[in-house]
Structures are given as C-alpha cells and as structure tokens.
Structure 1
Amino acid sequence: MSSVAEKLQRKDSRSVSNRQVRLRLVYVDFWSVVKLSFLIWLCLGIVLIVASLLIWVVLYSTHVFDRLDGALQDILNDKSFSITDSFGLSKVALFTFVVAILDTIVGTVLGAIAALLYNLSVRFTGGVLVGFQNN
C-alpha cells in the first residue's frame, strides 16, 4: 500500500494543463463604486489627519517652532510674534479635519463620475478584456 507522501509526489510530477479564461468587463455597478470610493477616501482622510498631527507634534517637540519664532522675530522686529499662536495644534487639527471631509466628498463624487463614464464608454469600446490563467 502506498503512503500519502508517495501519492502527492506522483501528483506533482504530472504536467498540469494551463487553462486560460478571457472575460470582458462591460458593466461596473454604480453603487458599489460609490461605496468603495467613499471607504478609500475616508481611510485616506484618516491617514491625512493622523499624519498631519504627528508631523505637528514632531516639529513642536524638536523645537523647530521655537527656532522659527526666533528667526521671524529678528526679521520682523516684533517680539510678540509666535508661530504656535498662528499654527496651534487645535487650528491645524481643525483645518486638516475640514480638508479630509472635503477630500472624502470630492473623491466619492469623482468615483461616481468615473463609474458613469466607464458604463457610458463601454457602448463604444466594448469594455476591458481581462484574462485569467490557471497555473
């Protein structure tokens, strides 16, 4: 009686025929594209918020703002000027949050427009030919 290892060894030695399937993408579901583009842009908005806050914290903790304050106070001859008053953490966070919301809205709308344009262009082009191969 042969073992399982011998059966597997004989199975690997056989040549496997490659099958190829060609499909044509002729329709993209509008609501699926809208939902997917919303989720992608929402994730990118969250990444934008976290990245900008981390950059602000790193610049603040490495005293870059203090050095810029000193240089600008010398240039402007104004000792009351401070960058952290103009670009505080709360202002940077609020601005980034607004930009992330606008990016999410605009990105979702652009995804919807792209789906509509693709579905309209399929009538003229016939769609995208996609090939799959079984190895």
Structure 2
Amino acid sequence: MSTVADKLARKSTSKTSAKQVRLRLVYVDFWSAVKLSFLASVALAIVTVVATFLVYMVLSTTGLIDRVDELFVAFSNGDFSIKQFLNLPQVMAFSAIVAILNLIVITVLGAVVAGIYNVMVKVTGGLLVGFTSN
C-alpha cells in the first residue's frame, strides 16, 4: 500500500513532456502599436535629454569647451566664439527640440509599421510564432 506522499514523489520524478504551440500573428492592433511606440519614444526622449545634459557637463567640467573656444577665437581673430552658441540653455533647448521631434517621428513610425504589417498579412498570411511550455 502506498501513501499519498509516495504517489506525489513518483509524480514529481516523472518527466512531463513540453507542449509546443505554433501560432500565427495575423493582426496588430493599430492603437496598441501607437500607444506602445509613444511610450518607447517618451523613454527615448528622456534618455536623450539626460544624456545631452551629462555629456555637456562632462565637456564643460574637463575644460574641453574652453579649449575649442580658444581655437575658434584664434582662427577667427576674435570675431567668432563658440561659447556664444554652446552654452547650457541653448544646448538643452536644442536637445528638447530633438527629443520632441523624435517623439513625433517614432510614434508615427510605429503607427505606419502596424498599418503596413496589417496590409502585408493579407498577402503573406502572417508571422508564424512558436511557443513551448516548460
């Protein structure tokens, strides 16, 4: 006579077979793709602004901007200074403009890709994806 513990021990030692499922992706929801691409572009915009700030601070702290400015002043006989154009507010404004443009472009690109995929599914039949259970 076996106990419940013996039955459970035998069950846990037996190997279960993994099931495999093959699914076909035949539709990408347009608004879901737009929302996902918008969130990804917001994250990229934040990274762009923060990275620009950090790079500017490193260049400013190491004195590289001052050395480049001295070089430009020497070549232009004092008529042109790069510090007029390369200060923190202007760099951050440029970074913010680039981040906003990237936000718009990436969101629209996500919508276009979803639309193109939905049209191409009619021709190709969709993307075949395989899944397995552990």
Normalised by the length of structure 2, the TM-score is: 0.89
Partner of 1:13: 13
Q: 5+ unaligned residues in a row in structure 1: which ranges?
A: none
Distance in 2, Cα, partners of 1:84 & 1:38: 35
Q: Give the aligned residue type for 2:90.
A: K
Partner of 2:88: 89
Indicate yes or no: 2:122 matched with 1:127: no
Give 1:1-135 correspondences, 5 Å limit.
Answer: 10-78=10-78, 81-135=80-134
Is the partner of 1:16 in helix, strand or coil? coil
Q: 5+ unaligned residues in a row in structure 2: which ranges?
A: none
Distance in 1, Cα, partners of 2:124 & 2:24: 11
Distance in 2, Cα, partners of 1:69 & 1:95: 19
Q: Give the aligned residue type for 2:103.
A: T
Q: Give the aligned residue type for 1:106.
A: V
**By how many angstroms is 1:73 displaced?**
2.0
Judged with a 3 Å threshold, the aligned counterparts in structure 2 of structure 1 residues 7 and 43 are, in CA distance, closer, same or farther, namely farther
Q: Give the aligned residue type for 1:126.
A: G
**By how many angstroms is 1:3 displaced?**
9.6
Distance in 2, Cα, partners of 1:111 & 1:50: 24
Distance in 1, Cα, partners of 2:25 & 2:132: 16
**By how many angstroms is 1:83 displaced?**
2.3
Q: How many residues align?
A: 133
**By how many angstroms is 1:11 displaced?**
4.2
**By how many angstroms is 1:36 displaced?**
0.3
Identity in percent: 50
Distance in 1, Cα, partners of 2:28 & 2:65: 49
**By how many angstroms is 1:86 displaced?**
1.2
Q: Give the aligned residue type for 2:19.
A: R
Could you say what the CA RMSD is over the residues aligned between the two structures, in angstroms?
2.1
